[in-house]
Amino acid sequence: MDLLNEEKEVLLNLLHFILAAYGMTFIIVYGKIFEDIRPKKDYTKKWNTLWNCPLCTGFWVGVFLMMLSPFTELFTYERSLINALVLGCISAGTSYLISVLVDDFGLRLSSRSGGEHVDD
């Protein structure tokens, strides 16, 4: 029974991490609070891409949250290079996935044929 509780705690830590990462990523990429300091979208400049892309921003948010891990009780991860890489990738992937599935009005239910990219 103790093993089951440990597994639940690990999954709950991961859920808290994912939700915190998505929230921070969403605020940085889309929030009005950063509107004045966020560079305009210009994909020819890599620095601008970082601030306008949930995948890019999500990675660095994950690394940042891993560094904050010792100071919070929501999730605890050991500070290491491997954990930074893994948690950065988890944060990037889930932040991007959630941002593709959800917008300000709820779930995105529109379909686009042909697989073409539309920049909203």
Sign of the Cα pseudo-torsion (41, 20, 96, 80, in order): positive
User: 40 pLDDT band (50/70/90 cuts)?
Assistant: confident
Nearest to 83, CA basis, from 67, 97, 98, 72: 67
pLDDT band for position 11 (cuts 50, 70, 90): very high
- Give residue-wise pLDDT tens across range 54-109: 999 999 999 999 999 999 988 989 999 999 999 999 999 999 999 999 877 788 87
- For the chain, the domains span 2-107
pTM here is 0.81
Q: What does pLDDT average to over the chain?
A: 87
Long-range residue pairs from 28-34, CB within 8 A, at least 24 positions apart, any chain: 28/57, 28/61, 29/53, 29/54, 29/57, 29/99
The better pLDDT of the pair 110, 77 is held by 77
